[in-house]
């Protein structure tokens, strides 16, 4: 028996929207500690990892480890029927073939429930090694979204260069080229959410496909800040932390000049 109740139902909506464009279907792994998910896009360039801790829910019960295969597009459609301030309860029996979504409004005078059919999905799992990243940037999530969106106009590959004087996002295409530089800003006058912190052990320069970064920034509504982690020749990590609940983390393989 699995049952989870979340007062902030809109979070679930945002989480689904943050993943559904990257992966169409995925397995939600439910255990007594919480819900986790790992899935790759069809070309295996990027990966999304979701973690929702049990203590982040208002009520959480999972007697037996369950794997719930869900089509994220369908889940997003079901969640469209959920108002932003509704309380959401997820339910599934052991060995269930459907998951129940129950939405209650704040005054508890309207209750709706939906059943979503589950799927048998072969899960593709990658063992992600612990990496000591050489550069870590924390910045407003909206700012990062804007950079990725704006730069895509010029080209499809962004070069992220972390150096002494900040982080430079640059792109060049047939039309021309562009750069955006973000500098450290931790002054007390700036709201905490708008601060930019850059921690760097050594300069890092890597190329990434903007197409995927723009899939990642679909998670922007989840969190005020986004955290980027980079090291030479390893995938980029883009993390949106949800305080008290968990995180959505994305990995993106860099573009590397071919040796062959």
Partner 1 sequence: MGIHGLSRLLHDHAPHALKEGKMENYFGRKIAIDASMSIYQFLIQVRLAGGEGQLTNEAGDVTSHISGMMYRTIRMMEAGIKPVFVFDGKAPTMKGGELAKRKERMKQAESELTRLQQEGGSAEEIEKQQKRTVRATREQSEEVKTLLKLMGVPVVDAPCEAEASCAALAKANLVFATGTEDADALTFGTPILVRHLSMAEARKMPIVEVNLAAVLEGLKLTHAQFIDLCILCGCDYVDSIKGIGPITALKLIQEHGSIEAILKKIDLTKHPLPEPFPFEDARKLFTDPDVVDPSSLDIKWTDCDVEGLRKYLIEDKQFAEDRVNKAIERLQKCKGKNTQNRLETFFGPVTVKRAERKPDPKAVKGKGKGKMPAGGSAAKKMKK
Taking residues 38 to 57 in sequence order and writing x for each that binds partner 1 by CB under 8 A, - otherwise, the string is: --x-xxxxxx----------
- The reply to whether 65 sits near partner 1 by the rule CB under 8 A is no
Q: Does 235 bind partner 1 (CB under 8 A)?
A: yes
What is the closest distance, in whole angstroms, from the C-beta atom of residue 179 to partner 1 in the complex? 20
Radius of gyration from C-alpha coordinates of the chain: 20
The nearer residue to partner 1, 30 or 139, going by C-beta atoms, is 30
Shortest Cβ 104–partner 1 spacing (Å): 27
Nearest to 210 by CA among 71, 45, 50, 85: 45
Decide whether 95 or 107 has the Cβ nearer to partner 1. Answer: 95
Give the HSE-up count for residue 79: Cα atoms under 13 Å, Cβ half-sphere: 25
Among positions 142, 163, 166, 254, the unique one binding partner 1 when judged by CB under 8 A: 254
List, in order, residues 6 or more apart from 193 with CB less than 8 Å away: 140, 224, 225
- Tell me whether residue 103 or residue 250 sits nearer to partner 1 (CB atom): 250
**Which residues lie across from 162 on neighbouring strands?**
167, 204
Residues whose CB falls within 8 Å of the CB of residue 95, separated by 6 or more in sequence, listed in order: none
Binding segment for partner 1 among 11-19, 193-201, 215-223, 248-256 (CB under 8 A)?
A: 248-256
Question: Residue with structure tokens 């590959």?
Answer: 157
Contact with partner 1 (CB under 8 A): which of 109, 122, 130, 165? 122
Extract the tokens encoding 228.
Answer: 């980027």
Q: List residues bridging with 168 in a β-sheet.
A: 161, 181
Given the DSSP bridges, would you call strands 66-71 and 59-62 parallel, antiparallel or unpaired?
A: unpaired
The 10 Å Cβ neighbour count of residue 45 is 18
The yes or no reply on residue 123 touching partner 1 (CB under 8 A) is: yes
Both tokens of 69, joined, read: 């295969």
β-sheet bridge partners, residue 135:
200, 230
Contact flag: residue 78 with partner 1 (CB under 8 A) = no
On whether the CB atoms of residues 212 and 41 are closer than 8 A, the answer is yes
At closest approach, how far in Å is the CB of 56 from partner 1?
A: 26
243 touching partner 1, by CB under 8 A: no
In this chain, which of 1, 81, 111, 128 binds partner 1, going by CB under 8 A? 128
**Least distance from C-beta 258 to partner 1, angstroms?**
5
Per CB under 8 A, does 215 bind partner 1? no
Which residues contact partner 1 (rule: CB under 8 A)?
Answer: 25, 27, 40, 42-47, 67, 69, 95, 97-98, 117-129, 207, 209, 233-235, 251, 253-258, 260
């Amino acid at each position: 028996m699995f049952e989870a109740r979340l007062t902030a139902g809109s979070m679930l909506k945002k989480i689904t929207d943050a993943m559904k464009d990257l992966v169409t279907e995925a397995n939600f792994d439910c255990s007594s500690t919480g819900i986790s998910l790992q899935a790759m896009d069809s070309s295996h360039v990027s990966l999304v990892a979701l973690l929702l801790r049990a203590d982040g829910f208002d009520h959480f019960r999972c007697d037996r480890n369950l794997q719930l295969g869900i089509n994220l597009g369908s889940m997003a459609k079901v969640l469209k029927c959920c108002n932003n301030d509704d309380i959401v309860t997820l339910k599934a029996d052991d060995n269930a073939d459907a998951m129940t979504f129950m939405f209650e409004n704040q005054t508890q005078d309207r209750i709706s429930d939906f059943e979503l059919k589950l799927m048998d999905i072969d899960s593709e799992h990658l063992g992600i090694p612990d990496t000591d990243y050489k550069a870590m940037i924390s910045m407003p999530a909206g700012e990062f979204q804007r950079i990725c969106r704006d730069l895509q106009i010029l080209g499809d590959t962004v070069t992220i260069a972390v150096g002494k004087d900040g982080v430079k996002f640059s792109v060049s295409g047939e039309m021309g080229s562009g750069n955006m530089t973000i500098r450290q800003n931790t002054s007390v006058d700036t709201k905490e959410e708008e601060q930019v912190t850059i921690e760097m052990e050594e300069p890092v320069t890597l190329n990434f496909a903007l197409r995927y970064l723009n899939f990642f920034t679909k998670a922007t509504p989840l969190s005020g800040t986004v955290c980027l982690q980079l090291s030479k020749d390893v995938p980029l990590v883009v993390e949106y932390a949800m305080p008290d609940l968990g995180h959505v983390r994305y990995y993106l393989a860099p573009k590397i000049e071919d040796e062959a």
